[in-house]
Amino acid sequence: MTAETNKGPVLGMRHVQALLIFLNITTVFIGRLNVGVSVVAMTNAETTNPNFPEYDWTEAEKSYILSSFFWGYILTQFLGGYLCKRFGVKSVMFWGVFGSGVCSALTPLFIGFGEWQAYCGIRVLMGLAQGVVFPCIHQHLAKWSPPEERNRLGALSHTGIECGNVSAMFLSGMIAKSSLGWPGISYVSAGVAFFWCTLWFVFAANHPTESRFIGENELIYIESSLKHNESYHATIIPIPWKAIWTSAPFLALLIVRCAELGTEHSAGRDPILYERSPRHGHEEQCVLLGTPILGHVVHVVYLPSRSRCALGQGLGVLDDFEKDLQLHCLLDSCCHFGGHWLFGQGTKELRDCSDDHQCGRE
């Protein structure tokens, strides 16, 4: 059967791999972004569960805690790409997430004997572990996604970013108020990471030819669509560094991604900024902080499907898609700008009224 007539099963192991990547991203973002809720719970026990230790940390010390994850995260990005090529995605991804889960599980213990300095240290180690994850994700999707489905599988996998953001806010707020208290945030995050490692160990494979569960029809479909011969996976392809760093589309995407990360990771800081809000309790604030991120899912799911249709129907439809993309980007930017402006106004109001106790608090 040729690649033109063989489309593979409607649902197969390639979709299982995309689901595993989605759960992976959700898992690591829960561990990455729950720190904001945790810090609020640890420094203001009255808003959560007062039966656990409370710490008197300054704003500077809180800032060190929030940023410490990225001190380690930035160091293992390129290393992650090398390790993927050297040892395979399955092993590197497993140990990266497992290490992150161990750091989560040890966080309450470290805080107990080292306070904010130890908290920073364990967050640095978590960042080092998670830094290898996204290089693995991109390589894994490239080996499992047929060209016709690459946009869809990649987009659905990366919706884990939004799901992780929402889960980190929503679940952490409920856990902090429960009998588990603020240590429970770390323990639940560790449990989720270990559960994902089990799924990954059983169902993941470095590429389709290594999978124990893939059917022959789907294997032929993926490998033929990617134009892979029998020796492809053993071939080492040199990295075209010059072509990459002189590519205008790459540089444009690099700038866009850097700008997007600032908004994306502000979610970890927002619970601390909202801590003094008199209008909502701690759990309600976490829910409100998580809901705006759900809007990104529409962009992530809709646009790749629209682009695939446009590519298949000609230049006229592509022009329409380009207009749609520009409109979505404009609306997204306006929402971010408006949201941050309103947030800034609300924060200013809270600062002004908290001094003279006119915001509903005595």
Please report the pLDDT score of residue 308 as a whole number: 44
Is residue 241 very low, low, confident or very high in pLDDT (cuts 50, 70, 90)? confident
How sure is the predictor about 128, in pLDDT bands with cuts at 50, 70 and 90?
Answer: very high
DSSP H or E run through 34: none
Sign of the torsion formed by the C-alpha atoms of 261, 265, 267 and 272:
negative
- Is residue 310 within 8 A of residue 325, CB to CB? The reply is no
> Which of 62, 137, 25 is CA-nearest to residue 92?
137
For the chain, which domains are there?
13-356 (1.20.1250.20)
Looking at beta carbons, which pairs linking 317-322 to residues 24 or more positions away fall under 8 Å?
A: none
Q: How does DSSP classify residue 56? A: -
What does pTM read for this prediction? 0.74
pLDDT band at 191 (very low <50, low <70, confident <90, very high): very high
Give the count of beta carbons closer than 10 Å to the beta carbon of residue 280: 12
Q: What is the pLDDT of residue 294?
A: 52
User: Which residues lie closer than 8 Å to 137 by C-beta, 6 or more apart?
Assistant: 21, 24, 25, 93, 157
User: Which residue spans within the chain are E strands per DSSP?
Assistant: none
Q: What does DSSP assign to residue 48?
A: S
Strands (DSSP E) contained in 164-260 are: none
Token output for 227: 């134009």
Between residues 58 and 329, the one the model is more confident about? 58
- Residues 6 or more apart whose CB falls under 8 angstroms from that of 252 comprise none
**pLDDT tier at 52 (50, 70, 90 boundaries)?**
confident
User: Model confidence over 10-29: pLDDT tens digits?
Assistant: 788 989 999 999 999 999 99
Query: pLDDT-based confidence at 151, cuts 50/70/90?
Result: confident
Are the beta carbons of 354 and 276 closer than 8 angstroms?
yes
Q: Which of 24-33, 59-68, 162-171, 205-214 has the lowest mean pLDDT?
A: 162-171
Pick from 81-95, 279-293, 344-358 the range whose average pLDDT is largest: 81-95
- Going by pLDDT thresholds of 50, 70 and 90, the confidence category of residue 4 is low
Over residues 262-316, the pLDDT tens digits come to 555 555 555 554 555 544 454 455 555 545 555 555 555 545 444 444 444 444 4
Nearest residue to 83 (alpha-carbon basis) of 74, 94, 73, 92 = 92
The HSE-up count of residue 1 (CA atoms within 13 Å, CB side) is 13
Q: What is the DSSP letter of 280?
A: S
- Please list, in sequence order, all residues whose beta carbon lies within 8 angstroms of the beta carbon of residue 153, skipping any fewer than 6 positions away: 14, 15, 18, 141, 144, 145
Supply angle C-alpha 29, 35, 39, rounded to 5: 165
What's the rounded mean pLDDT across residues 156-185?
84
